[in-house]
Amino acid sequence: MAEHTPNGLLTVRSLIYHPAQLRGWAMLGLLLLVLMILSGMIWRNLARLESLGSYVRYSHRIQMANLGMQNALLEHIADNQVIDAGRLHGISEQVRALVRFDRHLDPQTPSRLLSVERSLADPGDGGDSPEASRTRLLSAMTQMSQALDEETTRRERMLKDLSSDTRYEVALASATLAAILLLAGLFLRYRILAPLNDLRVLLSRLAQEDFSPIDTERLDPLLLPVFNSYNDMVTRLAELEGVKRLHTQSLEAEVRAATRALLEQQRSLAQAERLAAVGELAAGIAHELRNPLAGIQMSCANLRGEVGDPEHARRLDLVTSELKRMARLLTDLLERGKQTPAPARPVALSKLVSELVALTRYQIPSHIELRSEVPSDLICRLPESNLRQALLNLVLNAAQAIDGLPGNIVIAARRESRYVTITVSDDGPGFSPELLANGIRSFTTSRKQGTGLGLAIVQRFVRDVGGHLALANRAPRGAEVTLQLPADEETPHDE
Residue pLDDT, tens place only, 30-71: 778 878 877 887 887 788 778 777 878 877 777 787 787 777
- Judged by average pLDDT, the poorest of 6-15, 24-33, 123-132, 322-331 is 6-15
Strands 407-416 and 368-373: parallel
Whether 326 contacts 357, CB under 8 Å: no
Cross-strand pairs, 372: 411
**Structure pTM?**
0.40
For range 314-333, the mean pLDDT: 75
pLDDT at residue number 442? 54
Query: Does the pLDDT of residue 456 top 50, yes or no?
Result: yes
Whether 89 contacts 119, CB under 8 Å: no
For range 247-273, the mean pLDDT: 76
Confidence of residue 423 (pLDDT cuts 50, 70, 90): very high
Query: Does the pLDDT of residue 425 top 90, yes or no?
Result: yes
Query: Does the pLDDT of residue 96 top 50, yes or no?
Result: yes
- Rg for the chain, CA atoms, rounded: 61
For range 298-310, the mean pLDDT: 78
For range 79-93, the mean pLDDT: 70
User: What is the percent of the chain where pLDDT is above 70?
Assistant: 76
CA-CA distance, 60 to 236, in Å (whole number)?
83
Whether 132 contacts 103, CB under 8 Å: no
For range 281-296, the mean pLDDT: 72
Most confident of 133-137, 187-191, 434-438: 434-438
- Judged by average pLDDT, the poorest of 121-135, 146-160, 190-204, 424-438 is 121-135
pLDDT at residue number 48? 76
For range 298-312, the mean pLDDT: 78
Query: Does the pLDDT of residue 483 top 50, yes or no?
Result: yes
Angle formed at CA 195 by CA 191 and CA 197, multiple of 5 degrees: 125
Per residue in 369-419, pLDDT tens?
Answer: 999 999 988 988 888 888 888 898 899 888 888 877 888 999 999 998 888
Query: Does the pLDDT of residue 129 top 70, yes or no?
Result: no
CA-CA distance, 112 to 95, in Å (whole number)?
10
- Judged by average pLDDT, the poorest of 171-185, 253-267, 442-456, 470-484 is 442-456
Query: Does the pLDDT of residue 493 top 50, yes or no?
Result: no
* Cβ count within 10 A of residue 215: 8
Per domain, the residue ranges of the chain are 6-197, 240-339, 345-486
Angle formed at CA 133 by CA 131 and CA 136, multiple of 5 degrees: 110
pLDDT at residue number 359? 76
Angle formed at CA 133 by CA 128 and CA 134, multiple of 5 degrees: 150
Q: Taking each helix axis from N to C terminus, what angle separates 194-207 and 224-306, rounded to the nearest 10 degrees?
A: 0
Instruction: Please provide the average confidence, as pLDDT, over all residues in the chain.
Output: 76
Query: Does the pLDDT of residue 495 top 70, yes or no?
Result: no
Domain 240-339 belongs to what architecture? Orthogonal Bundle (1.10)
Per residue in 149-183, pLDDT tens?
Answer: 887 888 788 888 888 888 887 788 788 878 888 88
Query: Does the pLDDT of residue 492 top 50, yes or no?
Result: no
CA-CA distance, 412 to 185, in Å (whole number)?
68
pLDDT at residue number 283? 67
CA-CA distance, 318 to 311, in Å (whole number)?
11
pLDDT at residue number 410? 93
pLDDT at residue number 229? 80
For range 335-360, the mean pLDDT: 79
Query: Does the pLDDT of residue 266 top 70, yes or no?
Result: no
For range 186-214, the mean pLDDT: 73
Query: Does the pLDDT of residue 7 top 60, yes or no?
Result: no
Instruction: Give domain 345-486's CATH number out of 3.40.50.970, 2.60.40.10, 3.40.630.10, 3.30.565.10.
Output: 3.30.565.10
- Judged by average pLDDT, the poorest of 67-81, 87-101, 310-324, 445-459 is 445-459
